[in-house]
Amino acid sequence: MEKKYDYLIVGSGLFGATFAYFARKQGKKCLVIDKRPYLGGNIYCENVEGINVHKYGAHIFHTSNREVWNLVNSIVEFNRYTNSPVANYKGMLYNLPFNMNTFYQMWGVITPEEAQAKIEEQKAEAISRMKADGVTEPRNLEEQAQVLIGKDIYERLIKGYTEKQWGRKCTELPAFIIKRLPVRFVFDNNYFNDKYQGIPIGGYNRLIIGLLDGVETKTNVDFFVNRAYWESLADKIVFTGKIDEFYGYCFGKLNYRTVRFEQEIIESSNYQGNAVVNYTELEVPYTRIIEHKHFEMFGQAVYDNPKTVISKEYSTEWCDGMEPYYPVNDEMNNTLYAKYKALADVEENVIFGGRLAEYKYYDMAPIIEKVMQTMANI
């Protein structure tokens, strides 16, 4: 019996929507289903008080790939937002990523030479502490960070934030989590090194709507509730959900970290003066505060809206019923994922893509690159 669709796409996040966009351009018939009541996956925005709120955490688009940048801008124009987070440690503010502004705030040093000397001095102290313990290689994240950047920056800007994010002490986390730290001896607060950076004007929903233009979509649909029916509709499935769930958890469940958001509407035009402020001390329970208007409002526009919306982010262990965010790519979980991937690799009519299906953390631009690559191989 001839199938109704070429592709059933499970999940309308960036992978699923981009795949549908390219498939439709190739003349393929797609059906996109999503269990949430709206399209867009984790880049979905909710309009609150005239502000596009990133419902599932801050999403900042950045890439050096001109083809990817031209593609997204052909769908919706992107603004000039530049990610320049600020860290708050016990009421003191520091610029991120670590640059000459940070070093001046930390030590009062003015020249790159002075900053380098201070960091080298602290790195040497960290190495000698390890030697005194009879080790030459960092045994954990704490030692790794101090070997890279020294004690002061580690203790004020890395330690508490990392322990909140992972729910474990830095001495219990593997060193490989931070093999490198961005350190710049210039006065530059731009977090990313990419050539292109911005937010879609009018929010990410416009990008998703544009990608899915002309594609049939259904929301409030759980693929697993009536799996046989949905599978019967299409020649191939593009699956962007959890790979372990696709296989009925036959080898066991993969672990994730998740994030809980506390959203507040504040009767003020400008709460913190920046989109992203990290709280790096352990005693403050949230990891950061996002003020959403700063992603899309600049200059006078900030004050034209008398209200603002903030989200406090709390990092927690994931359990059933929670939103899975970050794969826990430790040895145990990677070994488990490899078993599922072996099953996925022999599937002839299923394409697995995205953060949950590949058990891998992705930024947005690499997701689009991955879809382009997948389409080129079909």
Under a CB-based contact definition with an 8 Å cutoff, are residues 17 and 212 in contact? Answer: yes
Of 333, 334, 313, 331, the C-alpha closest to 323 is 313
Please confirm, yes or no, whether 288 is among the known catalytic residues: yes
Please confirm, yes or no, whether 361 is among the known catalytic residues: yes
User: Catalytic: which of 49, 155, 222, 363?
Assistant: 363
Please confirm, yes or no, whether 180 is among the known catalytic residues: yes
Please confirm, yes or no, whether 139 is among the known catalytic residues: no
Query: Is the sign of the CA dihedral 67, 68, 72, 78 positive or negative?
Result: negative
User: Catalytic: which of 180, 229, 267, 331?
Assistant: 180
Of 283, 336, 82, the C-alpha closest to 194 is 82
User: Catalytic: which of 24, 156, 184, 355?
Assistant: 184
Q: How far is CA 141 from CA 138, 144, 258, 361, in A?
A: 8, 5, 21, 19
Please confirm, yes or no, whether 156 is among the known catalytic residues: no
Please confirm, yes or no, whether 363 is among the known catalytic residues: yes
Please confirm, yes or no, whether 257 is among the known catalytic residues: yes
Of 71, 41, 69, 70, the C-alpha closest to 56 is 41
User: Catalytic: which of 142, 143, 163, 313?
Assistant: 313
Helical segments of 215-288, H only: 227-231, 243-246
Of 301, 271, 307, the C-alpha closest to 201 is 301
Helical segments of 252-355, H only: 300-304, 331-345
Q: CB-based contacts of 364: which residues, under 8 Å, 6+ apart? A: 14, 43, 59, 61
CA–CA separation, 6 and 269 (whole Å): 49
3 state DSSP class of 58: coil
3 state DSSP class of 356: coil
CA–CA separation, 342 and 324 (whole Å): 22
User: Catalytic: which of 129, 194, 257, 369?
Assistant: 257
User: Catalytic: which of 196, 288, 337, 340?
Assistant: 288
Active site positions, annotated? 180, 184, 257, 288, 313, 361, 363
